[in-house]
Amino acid sequence: MAEAIGNRNNVPTRTVTVRPSTGGERKAPATTENSGRLTATNANDRKSAAPVNQGPGRLTASNSGAPKAEGPNVDRVTLSRESQEGLWDTANRRFDNWDADHNGQITNQEVQGALRNGSPLTTSERATLETLRNRQDELQAAHNDHWGLESGGFTRNDLQAYRNAGDGEAARLEEQFNIERGLATEDQSVRDRATANGPADLSGEIGTRDYYIDRYRDFRRRNPNEAAPDYYLNYGLKYFDRFHRTSGNFGPEAQQWIERTGVSLQTAMEGRRGQADYANLERNADEFRSFAYGTHADAYVNSGLHSTNSVDRWNIFMTPDGSDLRTWDGVGQAIETGTRVLLQDQGEAYLANAEYGGMNMVL
């Protein structure tokens, strides 16, 4: 009988035919070596069929013949064929297990509990939980399961509605899920270097979406048990993508404003990264969000928002989600930006009137 064997690099397995001297055909499972090539094992020794890898987090054959995870890079992650599942399939399959009180809703507390209760998790399960962490509010609002304001957690219907909404948000969660899967398979040496070096210098990525992704990756390498600042993916990356995706709907001045603003926001963040306490700031999501929002007004105004026409300006204002503006930080940056642009408008009008009046006097 053929036997399917998984491996850390997710290399597909195949079977090879071995002809014993006693006659007949038997199929021996294939194993991976350090080079990644497939070789046949003795058909009569199934214990040797477990994958062998020499790096941290390697798989070795246990006495029962089943793969056993070991090494400093594993952290209770069970490698199995279930690690091939995507975000939504994993969430649906494990929903009842993670719904600790079995009320059909999953809360942030239950997500945190599933991450920390010591139960073995596949790579996909851990990546799913890390992606769902702290997303109760946005997920539970995706489908109207209950009357009034929903606050009890997200349901299976919420997950399905969020996935099918077609607004790009599901793709952003899937990208985070894939980032987490990639982090789970990195060598421990990568994390060790990140921890030793502190917040990484990403000045070479300013002006790109990769800046926010790699800020997220860098934090998670240094803090594998903590949630990264939600600003990186849930605001910075989200609106970098949204504005660039819709830039064709704006005039030339607004398109230039989009480019300059993206650079300005990341430059301000990278400048703060250079200060000694940035690593501690990252670990406080609320303080980090306040810092980041505090850079918005300067970036918006200094990048030339005043130069955009009224239609583009209105569309820029309407691009962020209401939930990102209905906070003290969101309201504060909106008021400051609006006030400064209005003063620029008034100043320009005054100069124009003064110039027009002077011309009349000459005439």
Cα(292)–Cα(231) distance, integer angstroms: 8
State whether 78 and 91 are in the same domain.
yes
Q: What local confidence, expressed as pLDDT, does residue 45 receive?
A: 41
State whether 322 and 220 are in the same domain.
yes
Q: Are strands 15-18 and 67-69 parallel, antiparallel or unpaired?
A: unpaired
Q: Is residue 360 part of a domain?
A: yes
CA 168, 174, 177, 181 torsion-angle sign? negative
Q: Which H, E and C letters describe the chain, residue by residue?
A: CCCCCCCCCCCCCCEEEECCCCCCCEEEEEEECCCCCEEECCCCCHHHHCCCCCCCCCEEECCCCCEEECCCCCCCEECCHHHHCCHHHHHHHCHHHHCCCCCCCECHHHHHHHHHCCCCEEHHHHHHHHHHCCCHHHHHCCCCCCCCCCCCCECHHHHHHHHHCCCCHHHHHHHHHHHHHHHHCCCHHHHHHHHHHCCCCCHHHCCCCHHHHHHHHHHHHHCCCCCCCCHHHHHHHHHHHHHHHCHHHCCHHHHHHHHHHHHHHHHHHHHHHCCCCHHHHHCCHHHHHHHHHHCHHHHHHHCCHHHCCHHHHHHHHHCCCHHHHCCHHHHHHHHHHHHHHHHHHHHHHHHHHHHHHHHHHHC
State whether 144 and 225 are in the same domain.
no
94: phi then psi, degrees, rounded to nearest 5: -100, 5
Q: Is residue 242 part of a domain?
A: yes
State whether 67 and 151 are in the same domain.
no
State whether 341 and 239 are in the same domain.
yes
Q: Is residue 363 part of a domain?
A: yes
- Residue ending a domain, choose from 30, 51, 71: 71
State whether 214 and 181 are in the same domain.
no
Q: Is residue 195 part of a domain?
A: no
- Residue ending a domain, choose from 53, 71, 89: 71
Which residues constitute the domain of residue 137?
74-185
Q: Is residue 10 part of a domain?
A: no
CB 280 within 8 A of CB 299: no
State whether 81 and 209 are in the same domain.
no
Cα(74)–Cα(119) distance, integer angstroms: 13
State whether 177 and 243 are in the same domain.
no
Specify the number of domains making up the chain.
Answer: 3
Q: Is residue 40 part of a domain?
A: yes
Q: What local confidence, expressed as pLDDT, does residue 43 receive?
A: 39
The per-residue pLDDT string of the chain (363 residues; one tens digit each, 9 = 90 and over) reads 444 444 444 444 444 444 444 444 444 444 444 433 333 334 344 333 334 344 333 333 333 333 344 444 444 454 455 557 899 999 999 999 999 999 999 999 999 999 998 889 999 999 999 999 999 999 999 987 665 555 689 999 999 999 999 778 999 999 999 999 999 999 999 999 999 999 999 999 999 999 999 999 999 999 999 999 999 999 999 999 999 999 999 999 999 999 999 999 999 999 999 999 999 999 999 999 999 999 999 999 999 999 999 999 999 999 999 888 888 888 888 888 889 888 887 777 666 666 555 555 545
Copy the structure tokens of residue 343: 């003063």
State whether 102 and 174 are in the same domain.
yes
State whether 29 and 80 are in the same domain.
no
Q: Is residue 222 part of a domain?
A: yes
Q: What local confidence, expressed as pLDDT, does residue 360 receive?
A: 53
Q: What local confidence, expressed as pLDDT, does residue 231 receive?
A: 97
Q: How many Cα atoms occupy the beta-carbon half-sphere of 307 within 13 Å?
A: 14
State whether 181 and 259 are in the same domain.
no
Q: Is residue 191 part of a domain?
A: no
β partners of residue 1: none
Cα(176)–Cα(84) distance, integer angstroms: 15
- Residue ending a domain, choose from 136, 157, 185: 185
pTM beyond 0.85: the answer is no
State whether 237 and 358 are in the same domain.
yes
